[in-house]
Structures are given as structure tokens and as C-alpha cells.
Amino acid sequence: MSHYTPVDEIEPIYSTLDKGFRSGKTKSIAYRKQQLVNLGYLVKDNAERFQEAFKADLGRPVLENSFLELDSTITEIKQAISGVDKWAKTERPPFSLTWSPMRPAIRKEPKGVCLIIVPFNYPLWLAMSPLAGAIAAGNAVVLKPSELTPAIGVLLAELFPKYMDPELYRVVNGAIPETSKLLELSWGHILYTGSGRVAKIVAAAAAKTLTPVSLELGGKSPVVVDSKCDLASGVKRLLWGKVANAGQTCVAPDYVLVQKDFQDTFINALTEAYNSFYPEGPAQSDSVSHIISTGHTERIKRLIDNTQGTVVLGGQVDIETKFVAPTVVRDVKGDDSLMSEEIFGPVLPVVPVDNVEEAIAFINSRDHPLVIYMMSQDSGFKSKVLDNTQSGAAVANEYILHCATENLPFGGLGPSGSGGYHTGKFGFDMFTHLRATLDSPSWCASSSVSLLAATNA
């Protein structure tokens, strides 16, 4: 039997949440905190079951599940619990002689019933992190997990009624028909995380109801290598960033830009790191994640089969077990198959360039990346890349970790997304309406008008 939510139940679910929201329950900060605590326990009490579900859906090693999903999820829920009192406080703008008598204030109000659409690659973290922000901000929420992670979808649908208030928080499982039905409704806010292709469908549907949307997308995030970098540690970090979750990470380093005369040295160092990661070869390793589906495995195989570059490490693909060996391809050109789309797999093309100026021009000739990575110890090199490019984020000598760095916003730019969240208050802000208020005392009614006139004179 399908675990999808019947399409005809979607509108009644929405009406229940709308009624729940209008009841005013979520106005209480104590209520929000209680729901956040419940959410924390939902994850913590069932960590073993989530581990099983990750294994079933993603074939991912236990350590990666803990580090990349369970730990970050719990941390972000805790941040919301400890931050919500302060975040939700009404703010006063800076003193102004003209306006202060009217007591201007900014109230932090929830947006209403919100929709969170989740991708397959981090099915728990990318559901719970925004959900924590939305709950802290006082919204009702429908969570729509990816149909590619059915074990997680089923588990969330089972656990939600046990831990969360069913009048405010629900899971709707499904694929295109169910999501299309959800998108016909009018929401306080939609947070969509996924591919740019589907983002256009979501944004177009949201435009019909004038629902505000945040888009967390992907794309090709480059690594710009400086030949004067700390190569030994740099390539290890890079390789980890590429192979974690089998490269199915929105901020995975997608490709490398390296100076032509440094390519050999770079590949040698990468080979050493590769051999230290997989002394028996990746197929024998128990720390390699698998690809989500046969279709995606075939897609990655096609990209490798069609490359004009030279495969120097890995290259093996087993469609049946959805295994792609971490792969490095050198001498890749800009029009190569591996440069035609986001790889979203453990394959690293190395593109030789003449110098950093050419690397910058290469990046600027493509969509703004979600992140630009730099491997360099030289502040002049890093400034040059930073000052002459645009991207969601820019990170030197580290990979992926900026998404979980406390109090840093996370998001893309244009084709890599719009509207940031993670971590802490940024998630709260996404789901909060800043409601401007004035409360003018009668004694200043006429004086304010004359003050205004005086100001404008």
C-alpha cells in the first residue's frame, strides 16, 4: 500500500492547520518551546530508527548519518529553543525626534500556515532545520518529504502525531500529484529545497497565489586552487567534501580550477589522499555512501562515460548496488559532459586554467554558484577571488561546514537560490513577518503633522 497522503485529504489537512493557526495557540512562546522540545525528542528518542531509515533510503554509513544529519538537527532545534524568547521580542527602531512620540515598533509575527518541501539528500536535517525556525516563529506547518526517501517519509508520518500537535504540524507524503495539489493552496510562506528545474515549477505555482517563496537550490560550486596552498591538508578536506554522502550535497565541491603547470602536483597529492582514505579501494570500504536511485546512478555513469578528460582515480560504477567509486578526472574542458550539469555524485573534474584571472572569468561566465571554495594561504589570492565573483557563500580551506556554522546565514544567489536560513535566528526570520506598528497619543496628533511639515520644509 502506498504511504502517500491521498490527494483528497490534502485540503482538509490544510483547513485543520489553518483553524489551528487562527486559534491563536502559537502566540504563546511557551507553547512554541514545548513543540520544539517535542521535536527534539522526536529525533532523539528515535535516533536508531532514523539510522535504519537512512540506511534503507540512502545506503549511508552510520557516522555520516550522525555527523551530517542527527547531530546538526538536534543542535538547530536546541538553538531555536534557547533563542526564541529573544528573537520573538518586539523591536523598537532607533530614536527619531520626529517619529518617536508615535511609538513605532516592529512586531515579530508568524506568517500563517507554511509549506516546507524537502529534497532527498539530507531528508531529516533539511526538514527539521527549517521546521524548527517555522515553529519558533509561531507558524503552522505542512512538511512534504521527498518521495525518493520513503523510509524517512513513513517514519516522519508515524512519529509526528505522537510528538507534535496535529492541529498545527502535519506530514504530507507524496510525489508530483500530491505536491502539485499542495501548490494550488495559498501559504504563509513556501520553503522549497531542491533542483532549479523544479524550483521554477514551485515559484510559478506560488506566483498564482502570491505566496512568498524561498528557494534553496544547487548548481556547480567550484574550487579555485592556488599553487601556493597547503596541499596535503587541502586535498584531504576537498576529498572529504566531495565524497561525503556520495557527493549528493548541495554545497559539495563540484569541480576544481587549477593552474595548468600545477595540475600534476595537485593530482599526485589527491592520489595520496585517496589511497589513505581507501587503502583497499573504495569498493571494499564501509565508509562509502550510495547513490539515491538507479536513475541517478545511470545519469552519473553517463557523465563519466562521455567525458573527454582522463579518469585518473576511480571510475567504477555498479548500477545494481547504486555504487559510484569516488572518481577524479583530469584535463577537463568547459564544454565537457562533466561540466554540463550539477554532478551530485562523487566525481571530481579538474579543469586546468592559465591563472586565477582565467579561473574567475570561468566562474563568472556561468550561473552564480551556491558556494565558491578557495584552496589558498594567500590573502591576496583569496581577496581577488572574493572581490571579483558572486556566490551564495565563499569558503577558504574548508568544505560544507559553513552550512552548520552557528549564526551564519545560508543560501544561494539567483540560480543557486534566494532567501537564506540555517542557522539560528535566520531560520526564524524566514518564517516571520515584520509587522510595523505606530501608536500615536492624542497629544501629538497635531504636533506630529506640524513636525512633519517642518521636516519637509
Number of residues that bind ligand NAD (CB under 6 A): 27
Region 207-226 residues binding ligand NAD, contact defined as CB under 6 A:
216-218
- Assess 179 for contact with ligand NAD (CB under 6 A): yes
Q: Across-strand partners of 259? A: 353
Question: Rounded CA gap, 189 and 185, in Å?
Answer: 11
Which window, 116-124, 275-283, 430-438, 444-452, contacts ligand NAD (CB under 6 A)?
116-124
The one segment of 37-45, 154-162, 192-200, 276-284 that binds ligand NAD by CB under 6 A: 192-200
- Asked if 126 is part of the footprint of ligand NAD (rule: CB under 6 A), the reply reads yes
Q: Any contact of residue 345 with ligand NAD (CB under 6 A)?
A: no
Q: Which of 416, 327, 316 shows the shortest CA–CA distance to 363?
A: 416
Is 114 catalytic? The answer is no
> Cβ(126)–Cβ(144) under 8 Å?
no
Helices then strands, each counted (H, E), the chain: 16, 17
Taking the complex as a whole, the smallest distance from the CB of residue 409 to ligand NAD amounts, in Å, to: 12
Cα 349 to Cα 313: distance, rounded to the nearest angstrom: 11
Residues 331 and 309: beta-carbon distance below 8 Å: yes
Q: Does 73 bind ligand NAD (CB under 6 A)?
A: no
Length of the chain: 457
- When binding is defined by CB under 6 A, the residue of 119, 133, 326, 345 that contacts ligand NAD is 119
CA distance linking residue 162 with residue 159, whole number of Å: 5
* Stretch of 5-13, 74-82, 114-122, 430-438 contacting ligand NAD, by CB under 6 A: 114-122
Q: Does 129 sit near ligand NAD (CB under 6 A)?
A: no
Active-site position among 64, 69, 76, 216: 216
- Residue 333 cell numbers, joined: 574542458
In the complex, minimum distance from the CB of residue 171 to ligand NAD, in angstroms, rounded to a whole number:
12
| Residue from the set 21, 54, 87, 120 that interacts with ligand NAD by CB under 6 A | 120
**Which of 18, 109, 147, 398 forms a contact with ligand NAD (CB under 6 A)?**
147
Q: Does 342 bind ligand NAD (CB under 6 A)?
A: yes
Catalytic residue status for 216: yes
Number of CB atoms found within 10 A of residue 91's CB:
10
- Residue 434: Cβ-neighbour burial (10 angstroms; 0-12, 13-18, 19+): exposed
Other C-beta atoms closer than 10 Å to the C-beta of 411 total: 21
153 part of the interface to ligand NAD, by CB under 6 A: no
Question: Rounded CA gap, 388 and 374, in Å?
Answer: 13
CB half-sphere exposure, 311, CA atoms < 13 A = 17
Active site residues: 216, 250
Q: Contact positions toward ligand NAD, by CB under 6 A? A: 117-121, 126, 144, 146-147, 175-176, 179-180, 193-195, 198, 201, 216-218, 250, 342, 344, 370, 412, 417
